[in-house]
Amino acid sequence: MNDWGAPLVAAALFAFLSPGLLLQIPGKHHPIDFMNMKTSATAIFVHAVLYALFLILFLFVLHVRLSETTQQAFSGCNFHVVCKL
């Protein structure tokens, strides 16, 4: 697998957009609640839509790629990030 951008972006977005972890949209008492560690069906739906939109933005619109390149002179691998606009 040469392109690690998609799994890393998807995992990071999934972690950061979990309802209640950093924020909850909509919150129980406010439009946005921060770090309350609670969730609701509406918040799950809103966060799922945001996750899909951000994933489309990063992977298809911005073309974020994290490629692994090997060089003969080095024993390790070099990683580089490519973002095309």
Domain residues for the domain of 48 are: 5-83
Torsion angle (degrees, nearest 10) of CA 13, 59, 44, 20 = 20
For range 44-68, the mean pLDDT: 85
pLDDT per residue over 23-43, tens digit each?
888 888 888 888 888 888 998
Instruction: Please tell me the predicted confidence (pLDDT) of residue 1.
Output: 55
Q: Within 10 Å of residue 50's Cβ, how many Cβ atoms? A: 14
For range 43-70, the mean pLDDT: 83
Distance CA 52, CA 56 (A): 6
Closest CA to 39 of 28, 52, 54: 28
Instruction: Grade residue 69 by pLDDT with cuts at 50, 70 and 90.
Output: low
pLDDT top residue among 11 and 76: 11
Q: How many CA atoms lie within 13 A of 63 on its CB side?
A: 4
> Is 47 in contact with 17 (CB distance < 8 Å)?
yes
Confidence check: pLDDT of 74 > 50: no
The count of structural domains within the chain is 1
Q: Please state, for a pLDDT cut of 90, what percent of the chain lies above it.
A: 14
